[in-house]
């Protein structure tokens, strides 16, 4: 029995090492090899197909042969070897007569290749490949206005212009070690004529896919399907995630660990496998979603306060619960146990974000499912009917989003109040002695308020999108930076006492807001550190309709220092207490009022 177990373990190790080698080659070819055939392949299918093929290899000799066989139809100039290959451009990748050929290569502005459409900021393009024009672009990227003698007709094909300056070296062959004894080499520039790169594959790519699809797994009950999705996911971040250095992430190790875990998993655990892999990124924008919405809750809201799971809102008074009740068990487990079990499944840049998300996941699940919670020794069965993110706020008593407090203090709930309402009460704000702005969450598109707080034109560039032309984020040629370029607007409110309240729920747009407040010293910040993640979200869909989102750009504080994983720190810290919830007190607002009166 012992020898059998050892034999299985050795076989699994061989398969996992094979998968790691395939994973690295997969990403290099998908994102950086500019062959025409690579543009035509279904990469979601290929990640599963390739996983199945390499898992069957019993040694490195078989692995090399298999890798060469499955990649040749997609990338005929890619080769695998046991010795480090030459960095010289391969002779067979260059036509005898170069006349009429263009050099094509990949440029990624962030990344859009195989990404979900929805964020036009990120782009990937194969430079000099033939693209349809809108009748306004020319082969050089000039417009009709800049050079009326160079026109491309509407829907005609023209070479795609570069997104930025920089290209791979013309006579360079990319080489990398992808396993203990295995190397890959491939040109990053290819010669292309009439939309076909040289040399053309001897295998028809459509026939290759149709033949392979007959035996390729199509759902997560198959090990190769789960491995393919993990490999696909790993590569997106390997080549384009902006925060590996800041968060000290060993991404190679995470690949091997995730593949090892999925050997013991099944279709029901596939979402958790993807969550465990992406949790290592420590990115609050990371989410993994399957085909069903798992965010339905019973008619309560909860929060993690003083190390306890506390009921903060009760939407059904007949339940017998009240704010401030502490939950002792959920389905027989203590909240503390669930809290620790969730840690490897939540991608959190800061503790504050984890403490915000973990309680939500403790009570949410699929629609119409039930959970048993124990409060004060009594257990009740609750049904999940409430769409937590879509309905929770809508069933609360409506508030105007602002309050006029004593001593000339105006309170603005930036998570609720729209900008047009702020404009309507601008005369009262102008007459006020102090303004309290609450950003414990996500502002309601009201950042124009900042213009009334600044006294000079804003010129900070605090968002950066990297430019990629090489794999593994090597030799990055530069980045494009952005800001909001805000200008002051009357009436000026910055001469008053201004206090901003925040905590670990403040993410993304909220932290753009806070960047101005801290960067220009526009207010006193109180509460807890913000969540530490900002930047436009990118997302992709895996086979099986699993959707993964993430932060696609680097965002800094206005002084150029690190924001991710740190957040904006308050000038005065405030703790929420269970006793405060029971008494219906808002301790954060109380502290803000105290400071406003000083």
| Mean of all residue pLDDT scores within the chain | 93
Residue 562's SS3 state is strand
Give dist(CA 360, CA 353) in Å, integer: 11
140 pLDDT higher than 60 = no
pLDDT at 151: 47
Q: Is the pLDDT of residue 160 over 60?
A: yes
Mean pLDDT for 64-75 is: 97
Residues of the chain with pLDDT > 90: what percent?
88
Residue 395 φ/ψ, nearest 5 degrees: -95, -5
* Confidence band for 16, pLDDT divided at 50, 70 and 90: very high
Q: Of all helices (H) and strands (E), which one includes residue 65? A: helix 60-71
Q: How confident is the model at residue 12 (pLDDT cuts 50, 70, 90)?
A: confident
8 Å CB contact between 26 and 47: yes
DSSP for 168-231, written as a single string? --TTBEEEEE-SSS-EEEEES-EEEETTEESSPPSS-HHHHHHHHHTSS--STTSHHHHHHHHH
Q: pLDDT-based confidence at 134, cuts 50/70/90?
A: low
pLDDT at 5 over 80: no
- Number of Cβ atoms within 10 Å of the Cβ of 224: 21
pTM score, whole prediction: 0.93
What integer pLDDT is reported at residue 396 of this predicted model? 72
- Give the model's confidence band at 69: pLDDT under 50 very low, under 70 low, under 90 confident, else very high: very high
pLDDT value at 424 more than 70: yes
Average pLDDT over residues 406-427: 97
Residues above pLDDT 70, as percent of the chain: 94
Band of residue 393 on the pLDDT scale cut at 50, 70, 90? confident
Q: Residue 154: its pLDDT value, please?
A: 57
Q: Evaluate the CA torsion angle 536, 301, 435, 528 in order and state its sign.
A: negative
Tens-place pLDDT, residues 261-297: 999 999 999 999 999 999 999 999 999 999 888 999 9
Q: Each residue of 433-445: pLDDT tens digit?
A: 999 999 999 999 9
């Amino acid at each position: 029995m012992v020898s059998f177990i050892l034999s299985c373990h050795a076989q699994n190790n061989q398969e996992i090492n094979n998968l790691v080698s395939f994973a690295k080659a997969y990403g290099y070819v998908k994102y950086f090899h500019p062959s025409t055939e690579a543009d035509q392949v279904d990469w979601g299918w290929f990640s599963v197909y390739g996983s199945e093929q390499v898992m069957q290899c019993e040694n490195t000799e078989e692995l090399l042969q298999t890798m060469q066989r499955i990649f040749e139809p997609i990338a005929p100039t890619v080769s695998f070897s046991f010795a480090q290959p030459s960095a010289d451009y391969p002779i067979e990748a260059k036509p005898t007569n170069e006349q009429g050929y263009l050099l094509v290569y990949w440029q990624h502005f962030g990344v859009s290749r195989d990404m979900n459409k929805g964020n036009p900021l990120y782009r990937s393009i194969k430079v000099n490949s033939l693209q349809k024009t809108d009748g306004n672009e020319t082969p050089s990227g000039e417009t009709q206005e800049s050079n009326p003698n160079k026109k491309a007709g509407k829907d005609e094909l023209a070479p795609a212009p570069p997104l930025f300056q920089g290209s791979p070296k013309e006579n360079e062959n990319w080489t990398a070690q992808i396993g203990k004894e295995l190397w890959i080499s491939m040109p990053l520039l290819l010669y292309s004529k009439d939309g076909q790169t040289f040399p053309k594959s001897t295998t028809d790519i459509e026939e290759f896919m149709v033949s392979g699809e007959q035996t390729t797994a199509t759902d997560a009950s198959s090990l190769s399907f789960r491995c393919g999705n993990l490999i696909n996911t790993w590569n997106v971040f390997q080549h384009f995630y902006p925060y590996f250095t800041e968060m000290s992430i060993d991404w190679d190790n995470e690949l091997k660990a995730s593949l090892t875990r999925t050997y013991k998993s099944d279709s029901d655990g596939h979402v958790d496998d993807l969550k465990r892999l992406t949790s290592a990124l420590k990115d609050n924008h990371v989410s993994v979603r399957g085909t069903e919405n798992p965010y339905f809750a019973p008619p309560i809201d909860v929060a993690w306060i003083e190390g306890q799971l506390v009921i903060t809102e009760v939407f059904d008074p007949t339940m017998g619960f009240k704010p401030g009740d502490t939950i002792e068990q959920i389905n027989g487990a203590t909240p503390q146990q669930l809290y620790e079990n969730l840690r490897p499944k939540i991608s959190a840049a800061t503790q504050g974000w984890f403490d915000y998300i973990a309680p939500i996941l403790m009570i949410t699940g699929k629609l119409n499912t039930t959970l048993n919670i124990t409060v004060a020794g009594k257990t009740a069965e609750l049904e999940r009917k409430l769409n937590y993110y879509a309905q929770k706020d809508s069933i609360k008593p409506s508030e105007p989003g602002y309050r006029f407090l004593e001593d000339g203090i105006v309170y603005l709930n930036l998570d609720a109040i729209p900008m047009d309402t702020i404009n309507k009460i601008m005369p009262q704000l102008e007459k006020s002695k102090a303004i309290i702005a609450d950003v414990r969450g996500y502002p309601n598109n009201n950042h124009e308020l900042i213009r009334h707080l600044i006294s000079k034109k804003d010129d900070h560039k605090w968002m950066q999108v990297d430019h990629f032309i090489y794999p593994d984020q090597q030799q990055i040629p530069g980045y494009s930076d952005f800001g909001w370029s805000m200008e002051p607007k009357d009436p000026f409110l910055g001469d008053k006492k201004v206090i901003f309240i925040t905590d670990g729920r403040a993410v993304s747009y909220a932290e753009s807001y806070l960047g101005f407040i801290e960067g220009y010293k526009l207010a006193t910040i109180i509460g807890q550190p913000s969540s530490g993640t900002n930047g436009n979200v990118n997302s992709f869909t895996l086979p099986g309709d699993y959707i993964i989102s993430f932060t696609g750009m680097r965002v800094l504080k206005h002084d150029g220092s690190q924001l991710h994983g740190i957040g904006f720190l308050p000038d005065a810290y405030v703790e929420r207490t269970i006793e405060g919830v029971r008494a219906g007190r808002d301790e954060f607002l109380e502290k803000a009022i105290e400071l406003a009166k000083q």
